[in-house]
Amino acid sequence: MIQPLGVAWVGLHAENLPALADFYAKTVGFLVVECSDHMCMLDAGRGARLELWGKGASSPSGKTSRQQPLLVGFLVERLESVVEELRGRGLEPDTPIDSYAGTRWIYYTDPEGNRFEFKDLHG
């Protein structure tokens, strides 16, 4: 039986790679590991990587589940401190904090319409 240790990597296509990389680095606060004209690798914590590369499509009103079938949740220690930090950088959440089955989460949308969430284990 496979016993996963967690998620190691998530990839996301971007219509405007430099702008989306800038958003995840400067607004969200992920550390840039490596960037080129074709990709940008960011540290998503505890060894996990978020890789962005071109040839994607943006949606100004947020993507539907058909346009974005996978939703990524980034684990953090406490949601409240993340929400405050992101508000200080001009990013407002899409939803209030919610909880279920021992976890809490809050949703955000990036400039290309990709929805993502932050989660903690204090539910």
Total domains present in the chain: 1
* Res. 123: pLDDT tops 90: no
- The Cα 25–Cα 33 span in angstroms is 10
Q: Which amino acid is at 120?
A: D
pTM, two decimal places: 0.94
* Res. 6: pLDDT tops 90: no
Asked whether residue 64 is assigned to any structural domain, the reply reads no
Asked whether residue 63 is assigned to any structural domain, the reply reads no
Which tens digits make up the pLDDT trace of 13-55?
Answer: 999 999 999 999 999 999 999 999 999 999 999 999 999 999 9
Asked whether residue 83 is assigned to any structural domain, the reply reads yes
Question: What three-state secondary structure class fits 79?
Answer: helix
Asked whether residue 39 is assigned to any structural domain, the reply reads yes
Q: Looking at residue 21, what DSSP letter applies?
A: H
Cβ neighbors of 72 (< 8 A, separation 6 or more) are 10, 12, 50, 116, 117
CATH number for the domain spanning 15: value is: 3.10.180.10
